[in-house]
Amino acid sequence: MRKMKFLWKKRENEFSKEFYPKKERRIYQYLCGYRILFWQLKEDELFHTYREWESYVKKKCRKFKLDQLREFQKFINHKKRVSDHVVKMLSIMVTAVITVFFSEGVIKFLKSACTEENILAVIIGGILAFIGLLIMCPIVIKVMDYIMLSARLEVLFYEDYQQIINEVMNEKMKESNS
């Protein structure tokens, strides 16, 4: 396992002259409409259309030879698989956590409702629990949505990058065949 990490780190260093994953993801985040801090990107890295970003990536990828592009494509594919795995694990964990919290709340309410003899206290408790649920649900959904979208954005970033690399590879193959 340790050797595998070393090999991927070595590959990452091989492409790091042109590809900085954190910086490239930040550029993609800005393109997708996410807020970023103004000092994180230079003015020439702020793209407003997909075509501008695509030409920027193609320009970078054209510097590589065809065999380097194949390796880079495999590297991007690996990063995409890892990111996709994280998204799947997050979705399972989020579902489990929400289910546990909701079921615990319902069980506690039902236990307290069974032990209460005053029906008015049970009704008031039910109304307060319902209002609390109405307030908390949108907040929890918003937070979980942000976490899931952030994780999913990384997968989309690598998919788009891979598609652009494929296009550049096809262009280079056509040039070499001509």
Query: In whole angstroms, what is the distance from residue 34 CA to residue 28 CA?
Result: 9
pLDDT tens-digit readout, 75-85: 888 888 888 88
Look at residue 1 in the predicted model and tell me its pLDDT.
Answer: 47
Residue 6 has pLDDT above 50, yes or no: no
Residue 62 has pLDDT above 50, yes or no: yes
Query: In whole angstroms, what is the distance from residue 15 CA to residue 123 CA?
Result: 64
Higher-pLDDT residue of 115 and 85 is: 85
Q: What percent of the chain has pLDDT over 70?
A: 82
What DSSP line would sit under 81-102, residue for residue?
A: HHHHHHHHHHHHHHHHHHHHHH
- Name the nearest CA neighbour of 83 among 9, 150, 27: 150
- Which residue in the block uniquely carries the two structure tokens 């998204």? 87
Mean pLDDT of 100-109: 72
Give me the chain's average pLDDT, please: 78
Higher-pLDDT residue of 141 and 73 is: 73
Look at residue 82 in the predicted model and tell me its pLDDT.
Answer: 84
pLDDT tens-digit readout, 122-172: 777 778 777 877 787 778 777 777 777 777 888 889 999 999 999 999 988
pLDDT tens-digit readout, 15-51: 656 677 888 888 888 888 887 776 778 888 888 899 9
